[in-house]
Structure 1
Amino acid sequence: MTADAPHALHYGALVPAVVHFDDLDALGLLHNGRYPVMAERAWTAYWEERGFAYTGDWAEAGDACNAVKELSVSYERPVTRTGPYAVHLWLERLGRTGLTYGFRFCSADGAGTYARGSRVLVRVDAATLRPAAWSEPFRALAQELLRPEH
């Protein structure tokens, strides 16, 4: 457990995740490439529950039409078993056209951290693929996820 991984979260959201047998590598560890996938699935579930879903049509995607600019993951200890876990999600920064989100892949209760990372997203216009502003409804919900200043 790390100092900033309390049992009761003070910011962000904790989204359940499940590690399956086929997520493990030849050594029986969660494959390093699966951590960002687990975070992406958690974000997708989080936003879909709030009405922001990608339907397969970029023109209709709105705020779900975005591109990854940067991804960073730090692995703290290996996941050695299948079963229930969680992804702790939060926003570090919310700009006009971009945002930086943080995540921790953690125990189901949020107490233990296995990996942490961040990802920079840019909202893009479906027609031009140029940066576009986040909608006001998205911004209002995203504000709730901002991590307090440390």
Structure 2
Amino acid sequence: MTAEAPPAPAVSYGRLVPVTVHFDDLDALGLLHNARYPLLAERAWTELWQEHGVRFEGDWATAGDACNAVKELRVSYEAPVTKPGAYAVHLWLERLGNTGLTYGFRFCSTDGTLTYARGERVLVRLDAATLRPTPWSETFRSGGRALMRPAH
């Protein structure tokens, strides 16, 4: 008798990062509060980029690619999250420019098959001294290219 392999996650590009919804993430109606979706997506991105050596450790002058700012954020809610527990955030890049990028995300079930919310976020890489746009490093760009969504 052979054991069946677990089903493959329902993502063919990007990464599926596990996240946890806690009881205190729910609002008075028992739904995941709308502000928590982008927060959980941000935490998932932070975890993913730390795997590539991109991290903020308290010093913007040495933060490199972690020195960035949000230019735009859009979220659409598709199904309510009604209980705490294990979920996932599916992350990918839509666009990787010289100084900016657009990433997509889906807040979803752990296997990626059920979508609760989806969104896009535009980031701009900043020079820590001037707070003006500056190019992403080649190391960052290399990691980013592996997360690109295939052209439709």
The equivalent residue for 1:103 is 105
Q: CA deviation at 1:56?
A: 1.2
Partner SS, residue 77 of structure 1? coil
Q: Which 4+ runs in 1 deviate beyond 3 A?
A: none
Q: Shift of residue 9 of structure 1? A: 1.3
Is 1:82 matched with 2:67?
A: no
Q: TM-score, normalised by structure 1?
A: 0.95
Corresponding position of 1:123: 125
Query: Aligned equivalents of 1:57 and 1:68: distance in 2?
Result: 19
Partner of 1:48: 50
- Post-superposition shift, 1:7? 4.1
User: 5+ unaligned residues in a row in structure 2: which ranges?
Assistant: 1-7
**Aligned match of 1:62:** 64
Identical amino acids, percent of aligned pairs: 72
Amino acid at match of 1:10: S
Which residue number corresponds to residue 73 of structure 1? 75
TM-score (norm 2): 0.94
CA drift at 1:72: 0.2
CA distance in 2, matches of 1:59, 1:7: 38
Give a deviation string over 1:59-85, Cα, whole Å, max 9, x none.
000000000000000000100011000
What SS class does the counterpart of residue 120 from structure 1 fall into? strand
Match of 1:18 in 2: 20
In structure 1, the residue corresponding to 2:112 is in which secondary structure?
A: coil
| 1:70-123 alpha-carbon deviations (Å, 9 max, x no partner) | 000000010001100000000000000000000000001100000000000000
Instruction: Report the secondary structure of 1:132's partner residue.
Output: coil
- Measured on the aligned residues, the alpha-carbon RMSD in Å equals 0.9
Task: Return the letter of the residue paired with 1:51.
Answer: G
Q: Which has the larger radius of gyration?
A: 2
State whether structure 2 residue 121 is matched by structure 1 residue 148. no
